[in-house]
Structure 1
Amino acid sequence: MIDLDAYARDGFAVLPDFVPIEECEALKTRAAELAAGFDPGAAPTVFSTADQAHASDRYFRESGGAIRFFVEAEASDRLNKIGHALHDLDPVFDRFSRQPRLAALAGELGLEAPLLLQSMYLFKHAHVGAEVAWHQDATFLRTEPPSVTGFWIALDDADRDNGCLVALPGAHRGPLRQWFGYRDGELVSRTLDATPWPEVEPVALEVRRGTLIVLHGLLPHASMPNRSPRPRHAYTLHLIDGRADYPKDNWLQRPDLPLRGFA
């Protein structure tokens, strides 16, 4: 059970032992199988939160309704992530993402008409795993009213050394700062509110594998580079409430793949 009062206070909730170890291993095995078929020459798109250079790449733009591969900025032969419709197009990730426990959790969080919008397998390789800059998920997956909610699942132990999540507790009660989406046919970032992040102490969310972290869509969070000899794989699923409006200028569009809930 999730502590809804703590979630409302902090903007995140940590649920240890939510996913059995054998399910963590099954996702890692399936990701390795998918990665084995990846041809770096066919998909050289580098994913980086530092400069958003991938925004001009058609391969990235059309990934909302596909399974696409993105490489590390510092190691083009290593994958940064696989996204963004694993939960719809791969049977292993589909079964995992639509399990009753996740549906029940979405209900507890007040998502009355949950839709599974985006999924990502995050590699965070040993030694070369890239930093993810401070951001709010609603910057990229905006709804009116705000409803995006993240389920982040640790498939390896995650700590400060190998790039665990870091969050600003309580900062989700502030406004949406940035918007990333289409304007005049181009993907651009735009400042909506220049208010700085609150001056609160960042919290490192160090967790054991199998832990699920719930992230409010307005919560500022990040992760540091992985310079350790250990990987930090994770799977993340973003949900929205189907009662909310999902603007057509959001970057992630799925014209040929309608959104589905848990059914």
Structure 2
Amino acid sequence: MGLSREQIESYGENGYLVVPGLASSEDVEELRRDTLRICRGVYPHEKLQPMDGSLSDDEVLRNFLCIHHPHKVSPVICERGVGHAGIADVLAGLIGPDVKCMQSMLFVKPPDFQGQAWHQDEIYIPTRDRSLTGAWIALDDATVENGCLWVLPGTHKGVLYDQRPHDNPDEFDFAPESYGFDDGEEIPVEVKAGDVVFFNGYLLHRSRKNRSQIYRRALVNHYMNAWSLLPWQMREGESPSRADYRDIVIVHGEDPYSWKGLEDRAGVSLRTCKALEERD
């Protein structure tokens, strides 16, 4: 889909954009089913062991907060998430016609599970051109009660803030928090299942604990302009000026550095939180 001038200007001013219903009901249902397949260990991986078949869906899902890089094991995540044509078209309108993806995260976030404190995605995935963009696909309605995103509009125009351990494990998972700014202007981003939230890697955002009795599932993929090198997860002795992470998926346009070839570096990993540790 093409973006209107108003949408592009809004993204430039605020650092985020909600596109309602960009993921179809069929996309959402298939991604929900695949979330369960991943959590049940249907796709062979050492971090995703097969679950007892007698366990209910709820009993299975409550073992997970977030799964990193699910696209490395799931063709459904690749097709309907990472490579979603409508999402790729929006990204082309925001960051340029050649777009690459380097990461996916599948949030399960059951009831009573923690959110993530203030952070900027560029802290973790440092691009050279500030083009890092998240595409947050809602697989459930996301509300204040079940832990929707909260954002500080306009902060994408600023700097990357330092991080420190936070002191609120009842509210947030164990990831550190960004600090040194006024968060009095934060706003919730409540969306319906199938809506997609796009946000710049410098935008300050967080989510709170799920205080409802429903899940807040979401698939979040990270993209950037394919022409910019990505000095991420650099090897020892590698120069930041030449480093270029090549475990990527081209989702729109062409790969200007195809001559470098691709790598298989990322692996599935699991994020934990207080709610999970208390279950062990």
TM-score above 0.5: yes
Which whole-Å deviations, capped at 9, do the CAs of 1:26-46 have from their partners, x for residues lacking one?
0010110111128xxx659xx
Which structure has the greater CA radius of gyration? 2
Give secondary structure in 1 for the equivalent of 2:92.
Answer: helix
Aligned length: 216
Instruction: Give the Cα separation in 2 of the matches to 1:153 and 1:89.
Output: 19
Shift of 1:110: 2.4
Which whole-Å deviations, capped at 9, do the CAs of 1:152-183 have from their partners, x for residues lacking one?
01110111100000000111111112489xxx
Which residues of 2 match residues 1-263 of structure 1 at below 5 A?
1=3, 3-37=7-41, 43=47, 78-86=63-71, 88-96=72-80, 97-127=82-112, 129-178=113-162, 196-249=180-233, 258-262=247-251
Q: Which amino acid aligns with 2:90?
A: L
Q: List, as ranges, runs of 4+ consecutive aligned residues in structure 1 with deviation greater than 6 Å.
A: none
- 1:12/1:215 contact within 8 Å kept: yes
Give secondary structure in 2 for the equivalent of 1:261.
Answer: strand
Q: 1:196 to 1:256 in 2, by over 3 A?
A: closer
- 2:69/2:104 contact within 8 Å kept: yes
Q: 1:4 to 1:200 in 2, by over 3 A?
A: farther
Instruction: Give the Cα separation in 2 of the matches to 1:108 and 1:190.
Output: 32
Which whole-Å deviations, capped at 9, do the CAs of 1:178-197 have from their partners, x for residues lacking one?
489xxxxxxxx999xx9822
Q: Which amino acid aligns with 1:143?
A: T
Q: Report the TM-score, using the length of structure 1 for normalisation.
A: 0.73
Instruction: Give the Cα separation in 2 of the matches to 1:246 and 1:203.
Output: 31
Q: Which amino acid aligns with 2:193?
A: R
- 1:171/1:198 contact within 8 Å kept: no
Q: 5+ unaligned residues in a row in structure 1: which ranges?
A: 45-75, 181-188
Higher normalized strand content (fraction of residues): 1
Q: 5+ unaligned residues in a row in structure 2: which ranges?
A: 49-60, 165-174, 236-243, 253-280
Instruction: Give the Cα separation in 2 of the matches to 1:22 and 1:101.
Output: 14
Shift of 1:200: 4.4
Give secondary structure in 1 for the equivalent of 2:219.
Answer: strand
Q: 1:260 to 1:163 in 2, by over 3 A?
A: same
**% of aligned pairs identical?**
28
Instruction: Give the Cα separation in 2 of the matches to 1:136 and 1:256.
Output: 20
Instruction: Give the root-mean-square deviation of aligned CA atoms.
Output: 3.1
Instruction: Give the Cα separation in 1 of the matches to 2:245 and 2:122.
Output: 23
Give secondary structure in 1 for the equivalent of 2:140.
Answer: coil
